[in-house]
Structure 1
Amino acid sequence: MTRPTLFVEIHILQSLPPSNVNRDDSGTPKQAVYGGARRARVSSQAWKRATRVEYAKQVPEADQATRTKRIAGLLAQRLALPAAEGGAGLETGQADRLAAALLEPLGIKKSAKKEDQSAYLLFFGKKQLDALIGLLKGRAGELAALPDDELKDEAKKLSVVQVLTTGHPAEVALFGRMVADLPTLNVDASVQVAHALSTHAVRTEFDYYTAVDDENTDDHGAGMIGTVEFNSSTLYRYAVLGVHQLRENLTDTDETRQAAVRFVEAFTRSMPTGHQNSFAHRTLPHLVLLTVRTDQPVNLVSAYEEPVTGITGLASESVVRLADELKAVGETWGNRPLRTLATYTAEGDKITEVFGSSMPFPALLDSVDTLVGQWLADGEIASADSAEAGDR
C-alpha cells in the first residue's frame, strides 16, 4: 500500500541589490548557465544553512541542533558539569575518557589532523547529548574508574545508537543526516532546496575600493586597495517540504505541524550572509507562493528558461511568467495543486486568477498551519474547488 504524501512547495521571487551572497573559491559570485544565458546562482547549501540559522531563532537553545566535529568535546563538557546542572560532576580527564567510550559504538573515526575532533561533521540535537548522560543513571563516576577494557564493555551495553536515532530535533528531521560509517544513524531529509537562479541574464561587476589609514598624515595615499566582485539579480527560489517524511522523522503530529510552519517562515525570511557588511543586501520577497500537492513536487524554474528582459524592471515580469508557467503545467500535465497560497505586491487579474488573492504573510502561515493540521488529522486535503463548494 502506497503511503499518503503531502508536499508543501515554496516558490519565491526576490530581488537582491548589488551583492555577493555566495561566492566561489576565487571570490566570484556563484553562477550557472541556464537557457543559454549566464545566471546569478546561490547554492542550495548556502540557503539551507541560512534557513537553519533563521529557524533556530524560533527554538529554545536546549531544543536546537548543532552540526559539528566536536561531539566528543561537547559530551565531555556536559559530563564535567555539576549534577545540579544536568552533568555528572566528573573531572576533565575522566569526562574526556568516558565521552570517548560512550561514542565508540558509533564508529566515529577521529580526524587525522586534530585528535579532539571527528573525521566528519555530525548533525544531532543538544537534547540527545543530555539523553546520553541519562543512560548512565548516576553511574558516571563508577564507569570512569573502570579499566579501559571493562569501560568499553560497559559502554557497549548502553543504548547509545538508539539515543541518536530517536528524539530528533526538528532541524535534523527537516534537513536530514547522512553518516557513511553507520547507516543506522541516517535520517532521510524531509526538505529539498533548489539552487536559486536569477530569472534573467547577469554580468559580474567589480567594486574598486580603498581604505584610509587614519593615522597617516604624511601623504594622501590609500592604506589598502582592493576589488570585490558583485552582481544584482531577481532570484527564483524553490524548496519543497514533504510533510509525510517530516511526520515520520518527528512522530509527534503537533511538533510536525509547528515545524512545517516554522520552516516556511524561516526559508522565506532567511538570507545568506556573504559580504553582508559591504552590501547590506537583506531584502524581502516580491512574491511568496505556496503550492500544496499530494502527487509530486514541480519546480517551476522552466518559467525562466528564456531569460526575462524586463523594460520597466525584472520583478513584475518574473511574477507574470511564474503565473503563466503554473497555469500551463496544470493544463498540460494535469498537475494542478490542491491549494495555492500567496503573498505578493504585484497587480493584475491574471496573477490573482492563478495565485489567488494576496494575503498578509502572517495569514499565509496561519493557513499552512490549518492545512497541515487537517492532513495530519484526516490524511487528506480538499481541493480549492471542493473547499469553495463546501463554503457555499
Structure 2
Amino acid sequence: MARRGSRYSLERVQARARRVRHPREAGLPRRLIWWSWQALAALARPAAFAVLVALAGFSAFDGMRHLNPVADMPDRAGRVNDAFASLAPDAATAASIWSNELETAMQPRAGLPPDNALAASLLAAFEPIAGRERFSSLIWAELHARSPGEAEAVLRALPVWVRQQELDSVWNERMRQAAALAASEAAAGMAPATVRTRLNRASRLYETIHASHAAFFAGHEDGALNLALLPGLSAGTGELWLQSDEMATLAHCPAGEALECALARMGRDAGAGQGARLLRAALLAGQVDDAFRSELQLANEQTLRAIASELGAVARYTSNIDAIRLTALLETPQDAARLRRLSLEAGPRTLALAHFHGRGALALDRGEDILPSPVTAEAWERFVLAGVFAALAFGIVLAALTSAFSVRVTGRAGLGQRIDIAMRELLLGRKV
C-alpha cells in the first residue's frame, strides 16, 4: 500500500487534479492543445496494438508464401492408383479386364484350389482399376441413355459441386446394389453370377485353412503346414510340407543347410519370426528365383533378419499368402524394404498390383519419400518476426492489465495517471 504522503498516491494525484482548471476555464489555445493531446493519448495504445497485430499477420502470411509447395512432394499412394488406372483407357474396358481376371482366378483347376487370394486382392482393387469418377460417369450415361462422350460433356458443363454430387450418388447406389448381391465384399456384386457363387463357396470351404495357416505363421503350431493347399503356391507337384521352427532346426542344421538353418532359428525372434517362416515358405514353394536365393545364401544374419522383418510387415499390410507370393518380386535384399513401403500404401491390393505389373510394381516406390521441410529459411525468418510482433501486441495488453492490478493493490497511481495529471497541469494550468 502507498503511504498517504507519497507523491504518487492516488489521494495526492486526485488532490492535484482538483486544483487543475477545467478545459472551459482555460483559453481557446490551451483547449485546442489539450483536446489534441487527449485524442493522441486515447488512440496511441489501441493504434500501437492494431499496428503490431497487422504486422504480425502480414509477416505470417508472407512466411506462408515462402513455404515449399505441397504439390511437388512425392505421393506414393497416387502412383499406386495411377498404376491401376493405367490398365485401361476407359471405365468399360477397365471393368471388363477386372471381371475377366477375377473369373480366371476363381476358375476351377484339377487338383488345385482356386486362387481366392488373388481374387480377394482384385476385389479390393476394383475402385482404382475402374476409376471411381470415370466408372460413375459410365453408369450415369447408362441411366440417362447417353453415350459416354455425351454424358461426360453434360457432367463437365455442370457446376463442380453438382457434378460431384451426381457422381457420388450414382456410385453409392451401384455399390448398394452390388452389396445386396454379394455375401462378402460389395465389389463382388460387380462380378458375374458364377464368380459370385464361387467366391461365396470358397469363403466357406477355406475358412478352416485360413485359420490354420494364420496360427502356423504366427508361431503357435508345432506341426507342419501343407503349402499345396494354399492358393497360388502349388503347381500340381504334390504336397509341400513346411516344417515348424523346431522341426526345421533339427532337419537343416545338422545337414549343413546354412540358410534354412538360420531362418529356422530366427523363428524364435519376436520381431523377425513371422517373416522368417514366410521366407522359408517362399523358398519351399519356389517363389524365390535362383539369383535371389544365391544372395540369401551369402547374406549374413543381420541382413536375413532385416529381410524377414520387412516380410513380416508386408504380411501385416496384406496377408501371409500374399507376402509369400510377393517375394517373387524381390531381386536384392533392398527390394524387401521397397515391397514393405509399397504394401503399406496398396494394402490388400498389392497382390493385384504385382499380378498386373510384375516386378515393375516395385518401381512405384522411390525410397522412403523423405519429404523436404516445408519451412524454408525465408519462411522461418518471417514466422519469427510475426512472433515478435505478436509478443509486443500481447505485451501492450499485459502491461495495461498489470498496471490496473498494481493500482488496485498498492494504491499508487500508474504511469498513465502520472502522465495525465502532469499534462493537465502543464496544458490547462492550475486554478487561481
With the length of structure 2 as denominator, give the TM-score of the two structures.
0.19
With the length of structure 1 as denominator, give the TM-score of the two structures.
0.20
Greater per-residue helix proportion: 2
Greater per-residue strand proportion: 1
